[in-house]
Chains A and B, each alone.
Chain A
Amino acid sequence: MKRKQALLGFVFVAPWVIGFLIFGLYPIIKSIYFSLCQYDVLRIPQFIGIKNYTDLLFEDKYFWKSVWNTLFYTAVRTPMCILGSLLLAVLVNKAVKGMKIFRTTFFMPSIITGVVLSSLWLWILNPQYGLINSMLAFFGLHGPLWLQSTTWSKPAIILMSLWSIGGGRMLVFLAAIQGIPKTLYEVAELDGGGWWTKFRYITVPMISPVIFLWSVIEVIFSFQVFTEAYIMTQGGPLNSTLFYNLYLYMKAFDDFSMGYASALAWLLLVLTLVVTLIQFKISKKYVHYQN
């Protein structure tokens, strides 16, 4: 019976295992090999050792530019996203009349897909006719050039991204906050603790595993930023929005330099891994697990 059950179990997981081997593991192994080759897909690969990697690290001006752009995007966006959506969650956790409407309103932008969102924000960010600059002009302020400016293009994309994902993350934090036992807050209140004390010493430590999880996920997502730059700026102006994945895409599907693009992909993995390990290391200091 045991053998039979095991066999049946294997049959049921077989589609996934076969799928993973063919479409997951095989391409991963193959891409390691291609990263050591000059390869344009249509012709045979030429083994060139680690030349792609040395070219990337020491010769390619776009590589470091794209690394810097992506790190900037990640470093600014991740804390802002976590902090912003956490504050939103705290706000919409209040028992106020009509709160469901607020929750829905904040959540709504997150159902818009990347391409539509980017096209919409192209107009919101338009320096002459855009919503943001028109509002700033109403208060007598002169708005920046946003996507046309080398200084403001990355902040503009970060702003757009926060608007679109904030609501979704808010829900996650809201669920976590609502899972905190009420008694803890009651005890704090009896001891005379105000809202800040409750937030700092109960809410944040109690949901710190969720904050940690999302900071890891946000960093990984941020490293993968692509659609916004692809649709809105194509990496410009002056490569100020040339993010890592956009550059990888250009090398792979414009230039057909698949070997070079594979090397780029592997370096991205290393970069993500290093940052995630650092996050795990730091997490020991602030993440509290109840057990």
Chain B
Amino acid sequence: MNRFFKIIKVIGISILIVAFLFILFWDFDKENDNIPGITTLKYWYISGAKDELPYQALKFDSLRDDIKMKVTGIPWQENEKKVLTSILGGNPPDVVTQVTPVVKWASRNALVSLDKYIKRDNFDSTVFFPALWREMSYNNEIYAIPFNTASYALFYNKRLFREAGLDPNKPPKTWNQVKKYSKKLLRKNEKGNIIQIGYLPDYYKLQTVTIMAWELEAPFYNDDKTRINLTDPKMVRVFQWLSDFYKDYSLNKILAFEAGFGNANQHGFISEKVAMVVLSSSFPDQIKKYKSDLDYGVAKIPTFPGFKTASSAGIWWLAIPRGAKHPDKGWEFIKFSTSKKIALESIKKMESNLFPANKLAATDSSFLKNKRDKIFIENMKYAHSPAIIPLVHDAFWREFIGVQENVKYGANPLEELKNAEKTIQREYKTALSYDKFVQQEMKIDK
């Protein structure tokens, strides 16, 4: 009996060890990769609420006998970290879709340069919106191809305009008008709490101070890009406007009012609590979903007298991560996806109201259905990149938005800008020296 238990014990332990080694060393992807004559191309895209596979990948898969697409949707919030981990682990996908600044990735050596493919295939970059194409390069090399984009405009509530005695067909053109209209659109309840306001400079994704800085062409660096500059008079003017705006209201009342906002039908614009908001081209879909009878208009973003309007562009791009196993096939997929025909077809299949980054597709008559779309396309001309200081992207935005918050709470604009400039400069200096070190090490390696 004892011997029997001994044998069972040995067998048990052996099975455990074999199973452990199997899990540790077996390449679970191997089987799929090894079909003769067929390349498995791994593509990771940013998945949304709907679990629908991207059209361009399915189409590419159906047209190519030599390629099998293995498509994985990575949730929005996890995306950056997962792609990063896969690159670090030496097993990245062949193609990724990303939306954060290309420079942030390229400067960290995370992407394959596409220059040799662009040169080899005479790839025509002029078909893309110039503002988007500019974002694809780092150190004079192209690292990604723009795929989709979102454009911004001023959304205003026509019903609330009428109620406040404003012309619903005349949205504000200047920031001073925004200030004036906002006061006219203000409504309070019997307790004195705000229940409706015209405008909130820091409400929603694209912040007013950012737009204003672009419009006034405020510099963020000095000329040789070695020092951060946030104390230029133009920048001070921007934050002074913000400071003046809040002086018309009680801060506590505004904060209590803002706390009631949420997503979907609790959004300030959809719930008709905020009459004017700068929103993206994908927002009409949300309005349709949660308040289809909302009477609203879309206009150019206001500016200062004598200055051009400005806007931002969110870019979904395609790229080949460093260490990808099939970069050549990956490039073919990128080329296919960003072509006019496929870009147009795939955008039509998508539920959200994005635009193709391919200008030919975006301006195609089958895509441009209404006047509103035309305003968004028009605004692409004035689009700026949110990658303002790419080497310290997140630190920059943390500080810049921090200044905005401090000024809102009553701080002096110039003092706050000085403090932020100092903090970003410290981070920037460290980043520059690290970048220099890495470039030198890479040269030595080569």
Contact partner of A61 (CB less than 8 A), chosen from B252, B256, B395, B423, is B423
The answer to whether B430 touches A254, judged by C-beta atoms less than 8 angstroms apart, is no
Point out the residues of chain A lying under 8 angstroms from B264, CB to CB. Answer: none
Q: Which chain A residue shows the least CB distance to B426? A: A59
Contact partner of B441 (CB less than 8 A), chosen from A44, A55, A236, is A44
The answer to whether A238 touches B441, judged by C-beta atoms less than 8 angstroms apart, is no
Q: Which chain A residue shows the least CB distance to B257? A: A128
CA distance A238 to B405 in the complex (A): 7
Point out the residues of chain B lying under 8 angstroms from A149, CB to CB. Answer: 255
CA distance A11 to B9 in the complex (A): 12
Point out the residues of chain A lying under 8 angstroms from B252, CB to CB. Answer: 145
Query: How far does the Cβ of B284 sit from chain A's closest Cβ, in whole Å?
Result: 27
CA distance A150 to B441 in the complex (A): 46
Interface residues of B in 101-131 (CB under 8 A from A): 108-110
* CB within 8 Å for A42 and B405 given contacts A126-B259, A254-B394, A255-B394: no
Q: Does residue A289 face the partner (Cβ distance < 8 Å to B)?
A: no
Query: How far does the Cβ of B197 sit from chain A's closest Cβ, in whole Å?
Result: 13
The answer to whether A41 touches B256, judged by C-beta atoms less than 8 angstroms apart, is no
Q: Does residue A281 face the partner (Cβ distance < 8 Å to B)?
A: no
Q: Does residue A218 face the partner (Cβ distance < 8 Å to B)?
A: no
Q: Does residue B437 face the partner (Cβ distance < 8 Å to A)?
A: yes
Interface residues of B in 126-150 (CB under 8 A from A): none
Point out the residues of chain B lying under 8 angstroms from A150, CB to CB. Answer: 409
The answer to whether B398 touches A145, judged by C-beta atoms less than 8 angstroms apart, is no
The answer to whether A250 touches B398, judged by C-beta atoms less than 8 angstroms apart, is yes
Q: Does residue B88 face the partner (Cβ distance < 8 Å to A)?
A: yes
Interface residues of B in 398-420 (CB under 8 A from A): 398, 402, 405-406, 409, 419
Q: Does residue A134 face the partner (Cβ distance < 8 Å to B)?
A: no
Query: How far does the Cβ of A125 sit from chain B's closest Cβ, in whole Å?
Result: 8
CA distance A38 to B428 in the complex (A): 13
With most chain A CB atoms within 10 A of its CB, the pick from B87, B108, B392 is: B108
Contact partner of A46 (CB less than 8 A), chosen from B20, B109, B395, B438, is B438
CA distance A28 to B87 in the complex (A): 22
* CB within 8 Å for A44 and B13 given contacts A128-B256, A256-B108: no
Contact partner of A238 (CB less than 8 A), chosen from B256, B258, B259, B409, is B409
The answer to whether A42 touches B406, judged by C-beta atoms less than 8 angstroms apart, is no
The answer to whether B434 touches A38, judged by C-beta atoms less than 8 angstroms apart, is yes
Q: How many residues of chain B are within 8 Å of chain A by beta carbon?
A: 36
Q: Does residue B84 face the partner (Cβ distance < 8 Å to A)?
A: yes
With most chain B CB atoms within 10 A of its CB, the pick from A128, A237, A254, A255 is: A128
Q: Does residue A20 face the partner (Cβ distance < 8 Å to B)?
A: no
CA distance A46 to B431 in the complex (A): 11
Query: How far does the Cβ of B412 sit from chain A's closest Cβ, in whole Å?
Result: 14
* CB within 8 Å for A40 and B81 given contacts A127-B256, A148-B259, A255-B392: no
Point out the residues of chain B lying under 8 angstroms from A254, CB to CB. Answer: 394, 398
Q: Which chain B residue shows the least CB distance to A61? A: B423
Q: Does residue A147 face the partner (Cβ distance < 8 Å to B)?
A: yes
Q: Does residue B169 face the partner (Cβ distance < 8 Å to A)?
A: no
The answer to whether A42 touches B256, judged by C-beta atoms less than 8 angstroms apart, is no
Q: Does residue B260 face the partner (Cβ distance < 8 Å to A)?
A: yes
Point out the residues of chain A lying under 8 angstroms from B398, CB to CB. Answer: 250, 254
Chain A: interface residue count, which band? 20 to 34
B243-267 toward A: CB 8 Å interface, digit per residue (1/0)?
Answer: 0000000001001111110000000
CA distance A239 to B406 in the complex (A): 10
Main secondary structure of the interface of B (DSSP, over half): helix
Point out the residues of chain B lying under 8 angstroms from A41, CB to CB. Answer: 84, 88, 108
* CB within 8 Å for A128 and B394 given contacts A40-B108, A59-B426: no
CA distance A44 to B442 in the complex (A): 10
Point out the residues of chain A lying under 8 angstroms from B20, CB to CB. Answer: 15
The answer to whether B108 touches A42, judged by C-beta atoms less than 8 angstroms apart, is yes
Contact partner of A40 (CB less than 8 A), chosen from B258, B423, B434, is B434
A45-68 toward B: CB 8 Å interface, digit per residue (1/0)?
Answer: 010000000010001010000000
Q: Does residue A43 face the partner (Cβ distance < 8 Å to B)?
A: yes
Q: Which chain A residue shows the least CB distance to B108? A: A42
Q: Does residue B193 face the partner (Cβ distance < 8 Å to A)?
A: yes
A12-54 toward B: CB 8 Å interface, digit per residue (1/0)?
Answer: 0001000000000000000000000010111110100000000
Query: How far does the Cβ of B80 sit from chain A's closest Cβ, in whole Å?
Result: 8
The answer to whether A253 touches B81, judged by C-beta atoms less than 8 angstroms apart, is yes
* CB within 8 Å for A238 and B406 given contacts A42-B87, A145-B252: yes
Q: Does residue A138 face the partner (Cβ distance < 8 Å to B)?
A: no
Q: Does residue A139 face the partner (Cβ distance < 8 Å to B)?
A: no
Q: Which chain A residue shows the least CB distance to B20? A: A15
The answer to whether A126 touches B84, judged by C-beta atoms less than 8 angstroms apart, is no
A-contacting residues of B (Cβ < 8 Å)?
Answer: 13, 20, 81, 84, 87-88, 108-110, 193, 252, 255-260, 322, 392, 394-395, 398, 402, 405-406, 409, 419, 423, 426-427, 430, 433-434, 437-438, 441
Q: Can you identify 18 A-B contacts, CB atoms within 8 angstroms?
A: A11-B13, A38-B433, A41-B88, A42-B88, A42-B110, A43-B438, A46-B433, A46-B434, A46-B438, A55-B430, A127-B259, A128-B260, A145-B252, A148-B259, A150-B409, A238-B409, A255-B392, A255-B427
> Top 9 A-B pairs ranked by shortest CB distance?
A148-B255, A127-B256, A42-B108, A254-B394, A38-B434, A46-B437, A43-B438, A255-B394, A42-B110
